[in-house]
A and B are shown apart, each in its own frame.
Chain A
Amino acid sequence: MSNLKLELKEKIIEQLNLEDIAIEEIADTDPLFGEGLGLDSIDALELIVMLDKDYGIKLADPKQGKSIFESIDSMAAYIEEHRSR
C-alpha cells in the first residue's frame, strides 16, 4: 500500500504538471482539491483517465470521484480494492 501511495504521488505530480511540488510535500491525508494541492476540475478528469489507463478502473459515475479523490489515502484504498491491473 505504501508503494502505491508513493506511486500515486509521483503520477499526480508528473501527469498534472505540479512542477513546484515535491513528493515529500504531499501527506497521505492532505486534501487533493481546494486548500490542499489545489487541484481543479480538469485535474479531476485527468485522475479519472489515470484510474482507467493505469489501474483498469472505470468510474461509472464521475460523482464517485469526490470521495475517491479526497486524499492519497482514499485513492490508494479505492485502487487496492478495485484494480484489474
Chain B
Amino acid sequence: MKNDYHIQGYCHIRNNGVSLNGNSLYQREDDSFQDFIKGAYKHIEIDYSKFFKMDNLSKLAFLAADILLHKETEKNVGVVLSNKASSLDTDRKHQKSLKEYPSPAVFVYTLPNICLGEISIKHQLYSENSFFIFNTFNAEYLHTYANSLLDDQKSEKVLCGWVNFDDEKYDAFLYVVAKKGTFVHSEAEINRLYQKL
C-alpha cells in the first residue's frame, strides 16, 4: 500500500434503524420496509422526490449514501458497492408482471448497479463506480479495491460498502474512505465496523 487511508464515516441501515458512526438517527419498530424507509427519509429530511420512484435496493443505498455525502464537498468520490442478492427483489417483481403488463419503471431497476447511478445523479458524481456480487460481506475485496482507486488517483475518496435487499430483509453498511478520518482503513477495522450494530 502506497498510502495510509482512513474511514471518514460509516452508516448502517438494518433492524428497523438508521445510524451514523454508531449513533442512532432513526428507529422504528415493526414496520414493513416501505413504511420504515419512507419514515427514515422524512425524518432525515431529504428533499428528493425521485426517491419514491426508486426500487427497494436503490432506496436503501441512496438513503445510506445521502447520510454520508450530503455535506461532502469533494466530487471525485468513487462508489464501490456490493451485495449478495443483486437486484433479485425487483427481478421477481418484473418476472411476475410479464404475465400481464410489465412496468417500464420496474424494469429499469433490474440491475443492481442502477443504485450507483441514483447516488451519482443526486451528488453529481462523475467518478469511478462498480458493483460486486459476493456470498457474504467481503471486507478484503472492498479494502483492496478502494486502496487501488486512491493509490492510482482515480478517486479522492471512495464510498464503499454492502447494500442487500431480498424478501423484505435488508442490510446496508456504507462507509467513506479518505486520506483523513477517524478510523484506520484496514480489513479488520472494516469488519469490526460492519458487525458493530
Q: Is there contact, CB below 8 Å, between B52 and A42?
A: no
* List of B residues within 8 angstroms of A43 by Cβ: 105
Range, interface on chain A: 10 to 19
Q: Is there contact, CB below 8 Å, between B105 and A16?
A: yes
Complex CA gap A32/B105 in Å reads: 17
Nearest Cβ on chain B to A20's Cβ, whole angstroms: 5
**Minimal Cβ-Cβ distance residue in A for B49:** A20
Q: Is there contact, CB below 8 Å, between A46 and B103?
A: yes
Q: Is there contact, CB below 8 Å, between B101 and A19?
A: no
Complex CA gap A53/B103 in Å reads: 11
Q: How many A-B residue pairs have CB under 8 A?
A: 31
Complex CA gap A21/B103 in Å reads: 21
Residues from 42 to 79 in A contacting B, C-beta threshold 8 Å: 42-43, 45-46, 49, 52-53
Nearest Cβ on chain B to A42's Cβ, whole angstroms: 5
* List of B residues within 8 angstroms of A45 by Cβ: 104-105
* List of A residues within 8 angstroms of B99 by Cβ: none
Provide the main secondary structure of the chain B interface: helix
Complex CA gap A82/B41 in Å reads: 41
Q: Is there contact, CB below 8 Å, between B52 and A19?
A: yes
Complex CA gap A38/B104 in Å reads: 17
Whether, in the assembled complex, A18 has its beta carbon less than 8 Å from a beta carbon of chain B, the answer is yes
Q: Is there contact, CB below 8 Å, between B105 and A46?
A: yes
Q: Is there contact, CB below 8 Å, between B49 and A19?
A: yes
Complex CA gap A61/B105 in Å reads: 20
Q: Is there contact, CB below 8 Å, between A18 and B105?
A: no
Q: Is there contact, CB below 8 Å, between A53 and B101?
A: yes
Nearest Cβ on chain B to A62's Cβ, whole angstroms: 11
**Minimal Cβ-Cβ distance residue in B for A19:** B52
Complex CA gap A10/B104 in Å reads: 19
A18-B49, A19-B52 known; A42 vs B108 contact (CB < 8 Å): yes
* List of A residues within 8 angstroms of B53 by Cβ: 16-17, 42
* List of B residues within 8 angstroms of A46 by Cβ: 103-105
**Minimal Cβ-Cβ distance residue in B for A37:** B49
6 contacts between A and B (CB under 8 A): A18-B49, A19-B49, A43-B105, A45-B104, A46-B105, A52-B101
Q: What are the 7 tightest A-B residue pairs by CB atom distance, in nearest-first order? A: A45-B104, A19-B52, A17-B52, A53-B101, A17-B53, A42-B105, A49-B101
